[in-house]
Structure 1
Amino acid sequence: MLSYYFKLAWLSLRKTPLLSVLMVSTIALGIAAAMVTYTVSYMMTKDPLPAKSDRLFTVQLSSWGPDQPYLMVDGQEEIPAMVSYRDVRGLKAAAKAKQETAIGLFKIMSRAEEQNRRDAQMRMIRTTHNDFFSMFQVPFLYGNAWSEQDDSSGNPVVVITKALNDELFGGANSVGRHIVLGESLMQIVGVMDDWFPIPRFYYLSSQAYQDPEALFVPLEYQINQQIFSHNDVTWSCWQDVEDVDFSVFIASDCIWLFYWAELESAEDRADYMDFINAYVDEQKSAGRFARENLSRLFTIDEYLRWAEVLSNENDMAVWLAFAFLLACLLNCMSLMMTKFYGKGSEIGLRRAVGASRNDICWQFLCEAFLIGILGGVLGLIFAQLGLQLIQQIFTYLNVTIMQMDLKIMLMTLILSVVTSVLFGLWPIYRAAQIQPSSQLKSL
Structure 2
Amino acid sequence: MFTHYIDLAWRSLRQTPLVTFLMILAIAIGIGVTMTTLSVYHMMSTDPIPDKSDRLFAVQLQPMDDGETWATGDDVPYQLTYQDAINLQALPGDFLRAPMIRAGFSVHLNTPQSKPVIEDARVTDSDFFSMFNLTFIHGSAWTAAQAQSAAPVVVLDEEMAQQMFGKTDVVGESLFLGERRHEIVGVTQKWRPNIKFYDLNNGAFGKAERLFVPFSHVKAYDVDTWGNTNAWKFEETRDFNDKMNSEMVWIQFWVQLDTPAQRQAYGDMLMAYMQQQQKLGRFNREELAYGLQDVNAWMNYNKVISEDNKILVGLSFMFLAVCVANILGLLLAKFMRRAADVGVRRALGASKRQVFYQHLVEVGMLGLLGGAVGIVFAQFGLLGVRQSYDYYNNLASMDWMMLLSAPVIAISACILAGLYPAWLVCRTTPATHLKVQ
Query: Matches of 1:434 and 1:239 in 2, distance apart?
Result: 82
Contact (CA 8 Å) 2:325, 2:417: kept in 1 or not?
A: yes
Aligned partner of 1:89 in structure 2 is 86
Q: 1:236 to 1:53 in 2, by over 3 A?
A: same
Amino acid at match of 1:259: F
Q: Which residue of 1 aligns with 2:315?
A: 320
Please name the residue that 1:374 is paired with. Answer: 369
Task: Please report how far the alpha carbon of residue 210 of structure 1 lies from its aligned counterpart in structure 2 after TM superposition.
Answer: 1.0
Picking from 180, 187, 204, the partner of 1:184 is: 180
**Alignment RMSD, CA only?**
2.5
Identity of aligned residues (%): 32
Distance, in Å, in 1 between the alignment partners of 2:338 and 2:102 is: 70
SS at match of 2:185: strand
Q: How far, CA to CA, are the matches of 2:24 and 2:103 in structure 1?
A: 53
SS at match of 1:83: coil
Inter-partner Cα distance in structure 2 for 1:323 and 1:15? 31
Name 2:27's counterpart in structure 1. 27
1:134 to 2:154 alignment: no
Residue pair 2:60, 2:77 contacting (<8 A) in 1 also: yes
TM-score, normalisation: structure 2: 0.91
Count of aligned pairs: 435
Q: C-alpha displacement at 1:69, in angstroms?
A: 6.1
Q: 2:330 aligns with which of 335, 339, 347?
A: 335
- CA change 1:115–1:414 in 2 (3 A) is farther
**Residue 107 in structure 1 maps to residue 104 in structure 2:** yes
| 8 Å CA contact 2:30, 2:320 repeated in 1 | yes
**1:352 CA drift (Å):** 4.2
In structure 2, the CA distance between the partners of 1:101 and 1:431, relative to structure 1 (3 Å rule), is same
Per the alignment, do residues 318 and 259 of structure 1 end up closer, same or farther by CA in structure 2, a change over 3 Å counting? same
Residue 20 of structure 1, CA deviation: 0.7
Aligned residues of 2:201 and 2:228 also touching (Cα < 8 A): no
Matched ranges for 1:183-332 at <5 A: 183-228=179-224, 232-237=226-231, 238=233, 240-244=235-239, 246-292=240-286, 293-332=288-327
Match of 2:386 among 391, 408, 425: 391
Question: What SS does the aligned partner of 2:182 have?
Answer: strand
Q: Is the 8 A contact 2:155 2:187 kept in 1?
A: yes
Deviation of 1:110 after TM superposition, in Å, equals 0.8
Matched-pair contact (CA < 8 Å) for 1:140–1:193: yes
Q: Secondary structure at the match of 2:176?
A: strand
Q: CA deviation at 1:379?
A: 0.8
Please state how far the C-alpha of 1:103 moved relative to its aligned partner.
0.7
Matches within 5 A, 1:31-42: 31-42=31-42
CA distance in 1, matches of 2:69, 2:430: 81
Please report how far the alpha carbon of residue 383 of structure 1 lies from its aligned counterpart in structure 2 after TM superposition.
0.9
CA separation of 1:139 and 1:83: change in aligned 2, threshold 3 A: same
Match of 1:53 in 2: 53
Distance 1:10 1:340 in 2: 14
Q: Which amino acid aligns with 1:440?
A: L
Unaligned residue ranges in structure 2 (runs of 5+): none
**Structure 1, residues 65-90: CA drift from partner, whole Å, max 9, x if none?**
68x9644656x6x2322222222221
Cα contact 1:97–1:261 (8 A) shared by 2: no
Following superposition, the deviation at residue 356 of structure 1 comes to 4.4
Measure, in 2, the Cα distance between the counterparts of 1:12 and 1:435. 21
Deviation at 1:434, TM superposition (A): 1.5
Q: CA shift at 1:390, angstroms?
A: 1.3
Aligned partners of 1:27 and 1:141: how far apart in 2?
Answer: 47
Aligned-residue offset at 1:347: 2.1
Pair 175,398 (structure 1): closer, same or farther in 2 beyond 3 Å: farther
CA offset digits 1:192-234 (Å, max 9, x no partner):
32322232121143411111122111111332222325xx432
Taking the aligned partners of 1:440 and 1:116, their CA distance within structure 2 comes to 89
Q: Sort the Cα spacing of 1:236 and 1:388 in 2 relative to 1 into closer, same or farther, 3 A.
A: same
